[in-house]
Structure 1
Amino acid sequence: MLTLHATDADGSAVLVDGEYVTALGPYEDLAAAHPSARVRRWPGILTPGLLNPYGPEILEHTYHPDPRESETYGTTPIGGERARQIFRADPSRLGASARRGVQRLFAHGTVALAGELRAKAVLEVARRSGLVFGGRPDRLPGPVSLSPRPMVLLPALTVGGPARFAVFDVADRADLVRRGAATCVATVIGGRLVYRAR
């Protein structure tokens, strides 16, 4: 099924067929050429998506509490020794925590991770999610974050390439850099909408 993802900030659009990008261009042109395509309109701009260099730190060294555990652990990610204690006390929590961590990454426009994942449960979660793995930079950009600074965008989308991108509710890329990845409104991996802001 053809899906046309269109953005309001610049009028650009991406036509997706299954897992691949079929066409790129102005919304009006693509909509006229493909009138049967399902249309998804988004505020802001569409980018190739982000590479987060902190894969192990976010998915293996941080506990992402289940909302049902909020009375015990709160709702924000837990790092350091407290996370290690949680995982030592119940190793089965690692995979479930990683699934919630992946959702948090998607909510920040992340489509690729860097860093070596060593825990089998975490690696399986990351692979099943569709995240791709990129090279870790020699110099990390600062503290571990879901919205690292500076942000690393993947290479530009291409016709015939994978439908892997994110949409941010910002005016332009400079606004994205200024406001950060928490402005994400949608993330698409393999043509699937894996995150949509409410």
Structure 2
Amino acid sequence: MRTLHTAPLLRLTRDGDPLPDHAVLVSADRIEAVGPLVELSAAYAGVRVRRWPGTLGPGLLHEGALPVAPTPRERVHALLRRGVTAVLAEHLADPALRAAVDRSDLLVLPAAVVPVLVAGERADLAVHDGDACLMTVVAGRIAHRRA
């Protein structure tokens, strides 16, 4: 199912210039389109729209060791609550932790790359309001939503 995610501001990269009234169209696990909300709404009439407060942008890459928690599942969930959608393979030597990461669909990368919102790429998004992560989408599905 296609979903149009929008927020008052959108950044194509974590530190990119904020674009007002833009949106990301997600289809399955991919970004189908990125652009002005008005244009995407007109081009994809009837699509489900999720409106979020804050700033919508790419999911974050976590470059260090995963947070300490009692279980591997809780360690992964701590990342999702921060808007993280990708981790570096070098920090996943523990098989139980690697299995938890794989089950969550976090992207495992061999080296650091700058996350970018672009059509055709995997749909990894996050919405932040200041330092708080309000929502994390991993491979097109909402994996964390702040209550």
Q: Which category describes the TM-score, using the shorter chain as reference length?
A: 0.7 to 0.9
In the TM superposition, residue 103 of structure 1 has moved relative to its aligned partner by 1.2
Equivalent residue pairs, number: 136
Aligned to 2:47: 37
Q: Tell me, yes or no, if the aligned pair for 1:46 and 1:168 is still in contact at 8 Å.
A: yes
d(CA) in 2 for partners of 1:136, 1:18: 26
Whether 2:119 is the aligned partner of 1:113: answer no
CA distance 1:154–1:194, change in 2 (3 Å): farther
Whether 2:24 is the aligned partner of 1:14: answer yes
Q: Which runs of 5+ in 1 are unaligned?
A: 65-96, 138-152, 171-179
In the TM superposition, residue 165 of structure 1 has moved relative to its aligned partner by 1.3
Counterpart selection for 1:102 from 70, 73, 76: 76
Q: Tell me, yes or no, if the aligned pair for 2:25 and 2:32 is still in contact at 8 Å.
A: yes
d(CA) in 1 for partners of 2:138, 2:34: 17
Counterpart selection for 1:46 from 56, 63, 79: 56
In the TM superposition, residue 136 of structure 1 has moved relative to its aligned partner by 5.7
Whether 2:140 is the aligned partner of 1:197: answer no
d(CA) in 2 for partners of 1:48, 1:103: 18
Q: Look up the SS of the partner of 2:102 in the other structure.
A: helix
- Report 1:155-170 matches (<5 A): 155-170=115-130
In the TM superposition, residue 132 of structure 1 has moved relative to its aligned partner by 1.3
Q: For the aligned residues, what is the CA RMSD?
A: 1.7
In the TM superposition, residue 154 of structure 1 has moved relative to its aligned partner by 3.3
Spell out, residue by residue over 1:73-130, the C-alpha distance to the aligned partner (whole angstroms, 9 max, x if none): xxxxxxxxxxxxxxxxxxxxxxxx1111211111101011123312211111111111
Q: Tell me, yes or no, if the aligned pair for 2:137 and 2:144 is still in contact at 8 Å.
A: yes
Q: Tell me, yes or no, if the aligned pair for 1:19 and 1:162 is still in contact at 8 Å.
A: yes
TM normalised by structure 2 equals 0.84
The aligned amino acid for 1:169 is D
d(CA) in 2 for partners of 1:28, 1:98: 42
Flag the structure with higher strand content: 2
Q: Tell me, yes or no, if the aligned pair for 2:64 and 2:91 is still in contact at 8 Å.
A: no
Whether 2:145 is the aligned partner of 1:185: answer no
d(CA) in 2 for partners of 1:154, 1:130: 18
d(CA) in 1 for partners of 2:115, 2:85: 12
Q: Look up the SS of the partner of 1:111 in the other structure.
A: strand
CA distance 1:101–1:116, change in 2 (3 Å): closer
d(CA) in 1 for partners of 2:31, 2:146: 22
d(CA) in 1 for partners of 2:56, 2:119: 15
Flag the structure with higher helix content: 1
